Amino acid sequence: MQRTRASDKDNFDFSVKKRNRSKEEIILLMLCALSIPSILPFGLIRLFQANWTLAIVDLTIVSGMIAIFLFVWRTGRVQRASLIVTIFYSIGMLAAVFIKGASIVYWVYPTMIAAYFMLKASHALLINTFSLSAIVWILNRQMNLLDLSSVVVTLVLINLFSYIFSYRTNLQHHELNLQAEHDFLTGAGNRRALDRALEAFSDDEMEKPLESCLLLLDLDHFKKVNDQFGHAVGDQVLKKLCDLIRTRLRATDGVFRYGGEEFVIIAVGTDISTASVLAEELRAKVESSPLCADCPVTVSIGVAKITPSETASSWFQRADAMLYEAKQGGRNTVRVAT
C-alpha cells in the first residue's frame, strides 16, 4: 500500500517543481521584447544625429527593458517587475514629451494601454492618471487649449475603455478559475486548486505565514459504503463530510478534495499543537456524526507543519506519511509529524 501511495504522490507533480511560465510572465516578456526593437532604432538614429538627450532617454529605456526581460526570464518574478516596467516606461515617455514636446505625444497612447496588460486595472489607472496630469502640465504652454483638450479627452477615453476591458477580462478569468478549481460534488477545491495553494508556499514573491500545517484526511473503509449502499449514498457522505469540515475551519484555511475519499486541509498560520487539536476534533466529529445512517463512518488524519525552506512536495509527503501511519495504526486516529 505504501509503495502505491508513494507512486501516486510522485505522479502528482506540483507546478512548483515545473517551470511553466504564467500568462502574466509571458505578457511581460512579450511587451519587453516588443519595446526593444521599437525604441532602439530611434535611439541609434538620434545618437548618430547628436541628439544626445533624446538618445540617452531612448537607450536608457531599451537598457531597462533588456535588464527586466533577463530578470523575469531567469526568475519568473513578475509582480514587482511589472510595476517597475510600467513606472519606468511612463517616466521615459514623460521625459521624451518634456524634451521634444507635442510632436511625439503619440507615444503616450501605447504606453498607457500597455499598463493595463501588466498591472491590475486599478493600479494601471492610478499610474496613468498621474502621467496624464504631468502631460497636461508639460503641454499646457506648448499647445492651444482646443488641441490640448482634444489630447486629454482622447487619453481619458483610452483609459476608460482600457480599464473596463481589463476589469471585465479579469472578472471573467476569476470566474473561470473558480469553476475550474472546485470539485463539482463537494464544493471543495480540486487538485488543481490544491496545486496552486501549495505553490504559494514556494513562491519567493509571496509573503508566507510564520506557521502553517497540512492535514490529510482519508475516510476509513469508504469502499464498503459504496459497495453496500451504492455510490449515491457515498456521494452524500462526501458532501456531508465537507460540510462538517467547513464548520470548524476559518476563512483563511482551505479544504481540497485530493482523491476519491481523501481530503487536504491547509491550516494557514497554525502551529503544530493547534493543528493537532483541530485534527482530533475533526476525527471525533466525524465519528459522532450520522454521515451515513446505516453505517458508522470514521476518518484517519495525518498532520505535518511546514519547515523553513521546505518545498511543497516534501511537506505534502510528510503529511501523507503520517496518514499512512494512521491507517496502519488501526484507522480512526490522528498521527502528527514531529
Residue pair 198/213 in contact by the 8 Å Cβ criterion = no
Number of Cβ within 10 Å of residue 194's Cβ equals 24
Q: Which entry of 181, 207, 261, 262 is annotated as an active-site residue? A: 261
CA distance 96 to 111: 12
Residues 6+ apart with CB under 8 A from 43: 54, 55, 57, 58, 59, 61, 62
| Adjacent-strand bridge partners of 254 | 266
CA distance 40 to 51: 14
Q: Return the axis-axis angle of helices 231-248 and 272-288, rounded to nearest 10°.
A: 140
CA distance 87 to 67: 15
Residues 6+ apart with CB under 8 A from 110: none
Respond yes or no: is residue 207 known to be catalytic: no
Strand order in the sheet with 254-257: 254-257, 262-268, 212-219, 299-305, 334-336
- Catalytic annotation, residues: 261
